[in-house]
Amino acid sequence: MTKSPANPSLLRRILFPAPDTGMYAVFMEYLRILVTALLIAGSIRTFLFEPYKIPSSSMMPTLLIGDFLFVNKYTFGTHIPFTDIRFGTRAPERGDIVVFRKSLAGQPVTNYIKRIVGVPGDTLAYRDKHLYINEVKQPQTLVGPFSYEDGGRSIHGQIFTEQLGDVEHSVLIEPGEGEQVFSTVVPEGKFAVVGDNRDNSFDSRAWNRPYWSFIDQTEIVGRAEFLFWSWDSHFIPRLDRVFGTLRAPHKAQG
């Protein structure tokens, strides 16, 4: 006796329930919620905020390896994906911490994070581990010693508060002589970026040494705003850093 095949109409109803069944309605409701959530998340990431993880020590002591922050993508204008077009463009300011995309040393285009130290029209120089803007040496005030581990090496330096125009921020400097970068004028539409870890940062001072090099405003992704999470190399949370702002304070004019 030959066994009859399964009832195809029953199988069809199980796999593809009719629109008026409860199973279909629940499935479609979940699908709508999922699609809506993905669209909202995609829009926020594309036009508003994007998360970024700190991968290196180049911005110590301001940013530590294992910090997670949000990048404000609309501060300098809304970017149209896959183009260089921005609406409502506002120029970055000296002291802003920015994420930018650039191909360096023959490597693929990558995201980097640095601090803007030079804006169009500035004349920049770097001598004896001091930054000069328009021939004015930017003051540094000693705060205290700072040590960290990087690639199995123990590195010891000192933290200074640097006065960058009317913006105050911290820099990390190691003892010893520093390389010089000759005076260079920042071209229109360009910006000079430097890491706060002055002796361990591949930045505008190094790309075209002994002269400065720059990033284009179209390469800037956005401005770093605040930390939303942080943990160390052992994945122990650093809760004291969470929600810390990354906007450099402005010195009061007296």
pTM of the model: 0.78
Summarize pLDDT for 10-38 with one digit per residue, the tens.
Answer: 445 544 555 555 676 666 666 666 666 65
May I ask the CATH class of domain 45-79+86-241? mainly beta
Q: Which residues are catalytic?
A: 58, 114
**Spatial distance between the Cα atoms of 179 and 206, rounded to a whole number of angstroms:** 10
What is residue 234's DSSP assignment?
Answer: T
* Residue 122 and residue 133 in contact, taking contact as beta carbons nearer than 8 Å: yes
Q: Where are the domains of the chain?
A: 45-79+86-241
Q: State pLDDT tens for residues 117-150.
A: 999 999 999 999 999 999 999 999 999 999 998 8
DSSP 217-230: GGGEEEEEEEEEEE
Q: Please give the backbone phi and psi of residue 15, each rounded to the nearest 5 degrees, phi first.
A: -75, -35
